[in-house]
Amino acid sequence: MSLTGRTLVLLGAICLIYLAHALYYWEWIEDDAFISMRYAQNLVNGSGLVFNPGERVEGYSNLAWVLYAGLALKLNLAPLLVLRITALLAGLAALVLSWKAARILWPGAGLSALAAPLFLALNPMLPRHSTTGLETVPFAALIMAGFVTSTKRPTSGSSGIFLLILALLVFMRPEGVVFALLFLIWRHAGTWISKVPSPESTGEGPLETKPSSALMWIEFAALLVVVTSMFAWKWAYYGDPLPNTFYAKMTGESRAFVEGVHYSLDFLRENGGAILVGLFLANLFNRKLSLAFLFSAVIVIVQAGVVIAAGGDWMHFYRFYVPVLPVLAAGCAAGLGIILQLTRQASGSQNRALKWPLIIVMVGTMAMGYVNVYKVERATGKAVLPFVKNGTYLTDGYRQTAEWIVDNTPPGSSVALCDIGLVGYLSERPVVDMFGLIDPHISHLTGRQHFKSDSDHVLGKHPDIVVLVSSGNDEFIRIPDAEMFANPDFLRTYTLVQTIPIRFRDETIRIYRTFP
């Protein structure tokens, strides 16, 4: 079998491993996906891009994903299934693009370039987050597509697909604007300062000898039109060019910074940090240091800045680092190829004695790193998946809560709670968000994400139902729940009418109703 044929067979096998890994998590659904679907639901119903009809608050961070869910609803398709299948396909695209990116970073990578998609298939981060119904993995695929296309010399023939990728980045996530601008700058500036891959290495036809300045200005103008149009529409529709989730998450406080740093270090520790850092930085041993590698490092640093500013995230398997994980994997695969080349050179020189010690250290480090990844994934699976499979996970409790609300309250009854997605989507009732994702007052308070709270403000909206989640006898994990239960006005006004036990973390959903 030829090298190309063998590569394609191995790449196909890796894709099958990824799909099997992702399907392992198929039953595990988180609440956040239903926030986007609630916005899509109201859009299709004619209420507009709102969570609550009549309240224009941008409580989502994924406009393109919301519109896509709306399209699925309009076509009478199951939106959650459509979103999850799309994310699975995006994950496959990310795998293939990471392989291509590894070959761009190190043209001599050969079969070692397959280490990039193999890492992504075996690591739980990409497979798990491709089944949540969120835009995380499609955003990662778009970043990889932007990286691969921007490293090629710009031509008018490639301009259309490149601008489409930039537009999708802009509309998919707020930070997509930054990545789109970086890719556009690199597409034109990078060709002036770096050696462009030859037609033989890329498999393409003859390249232009000089980038077109007219094309550069056309693409910059097109991106400017897209970005300014989006922000102008948001300002006109929501009264703010930035989403409310920005204020809820990106506080910029010192405590959030510390939490973000801890989150980043934990990400490295639980995902084979020696592999991610060591192999990625091995690109520095390349005698002809690729500027594309430096650009890939900039992409990772930008996302790390976003993660640290946000103070990290609560989901398992480090959702906030998934967008740049394929970039890291590509860099690691390129670094692996460089190290392998160094060992081959050592075997034919006076440094021959260094060959096997170098190989042993490299293989041992990678093995220990993956063993740690496996142990963390296994522990997480044991802690969560049994409850998911038995129907006793938190989202199962919220589904029962929504059903109770539908059966026991008239349409239009308002509900106050922290996790607003599933209850809001299934009950179709007005929601008072105690976390503040769709409440500008709470989102603008001082504090970190999920730690902001104002029970007096929530009670001032006179919700008919208040939903709290306790972890024991009057103990609450969520700050807004604890503050609400300690509020004397709440205790005087509301009475407990229903409890829904959740075996996961031994929590209990408490449903309170105003006194008759």
What is the three-state SS of 227-243? HHHHHHHHHHHHCCCCC
Asked if 68 contacts 77 with a C-beta cutoff of 8 angstroms, the reply is: no
Amino acid at site 164 = L
Ranking 138-152, 337-351, 365-379 by mean pLDDT, the lowest is 337-351
Give per-residue pLDDT as tens, 292-302: 899 999 999 99
Mean confidence (pLDDT) of the chain? 89
What pLDDT was estimated at residue 91? Answer: 98
Residue 481 scores a pLDDT above 90: yes
Band of pLDDT at residue 461, cut at 50, 70 and 90 = very high
Asked if 256 contacts 309 with a C-beta cutoff of 8 angstroms, the reply is: yes
d(CA 337, CA 36): 41
- The CA–CA distances, whole Å, from 75 to 44, 70, 109 equal 10, 9, 45
Band of pLDDT at residue 271, cut at 50, 70 and 90 = confident
d(CA 348, CA 341): 11
* CA atoms within a 13 Å half-sphere pointing along the CA-CB vector of 86: 20
What pLDDT was estimated at residue 263? Answer: 95
Give per-residue pLDDT as tens, 14-47: 999 999 999 999 999 989 999 999 999 999 999 9
Burial 370-409 (b: 16+ CB within 10 A, else e): bebbeebbeeebeebeebbeeeebbbbbbbbbbebbeeeb
Band of pLDDT at residue 362, cut at 50, 70 and 90 = low
Average pLDDT of 228-245? 96
Among candidates 22, 263, 11, which has minimal Cα distance to 123?
A: 22
Q: Which two tokens stand for residue 511?
A: 């449903």
Band of pLDDT at residue 516, cut at 50, 70 and 90 = confident
For the chain, percent of residues with pLDDT exceeding 90 = 71
Average pLDDT of 313-321? 93
What pLDDT was estimated at residue 359? Answer: 61
Band of pLDDT at residue 256, cut at 50, 70 and 90 = confident
Ranking 114-123, 368-377, 466-475 by mean pLDDT, the lowest is 368-377
Average pLDDT of 360-380? 77
Residue 201 scores a pLDDT above 50: no
Average pLDDT of 417-435? 97
Q: Can you give the residue ranges of every domain in the chain?
A: 3-30+61-197+211-387, 394-514
d(CA 80, CA 83): 5
Burial 459-477 (b: 16+ CB within 10 A, else e): beeebbbbbbbbeeeeebe
What pLDDT was estimated at residue 448? Answer: 82
Residue 227 scores a pLDDT above 60: yes
- Those residues whose C-beta lies under 8 Å from the C-beta of residue 515, and which sit 6 or more positions away, are 493, 494, 495
Q: Which two tokens stand for residue 501?
A: 């036990």
Ranking 68-72, 129-133, 208-212, 511-515 by mean pLDDT, the lowest is 208-212
What pLDDT was estimated at residue 253? Answer: 73
What pLDDT was estimated at residue 255? Answer: 80
- The CA–CA distances, whole Å, from 492 to 351, 466, 482 equal 80, 13, 16
What pLDDT was estimated at residue 111? Answer: 87
Q: How many helices (H) and strands (E) does the chain have?
A: 24, 5
Output 477 or 498, whichever has higher pLDDT: 498
For the chain, percent of residues with pLDDT exceeding 70 = 89
What pLDDT was estimated at residue 202? Answer: 44
DSSP state of 52: B
Residue 503 scores a pLDDT above 80: yes
What pLDDT was estimated at residue 11? Answer: 95
Three-state DSSP at 48 gives: coil
What pLDDT was estimated at residue 337? Answer: 87
d(CA 16, CA 118): 11
DSSP state of 207: P
- Within 83-179, strands assigned E span none
Residue 190 scores a pLDDT above 90: no
What pLDDT was estimated at residue 6? Answer: 86
Residue 410 scores a pLDDT above 50: yes
Which listed CATH number (3.40.50, 3.40.630, 1.10.3470, 1.10.20) goes with 394-514? 3.40.50
Give per-residue pLDDT as tens, 62-71: 999 999 999 9
Three-state DSSP at 304 gives: helix
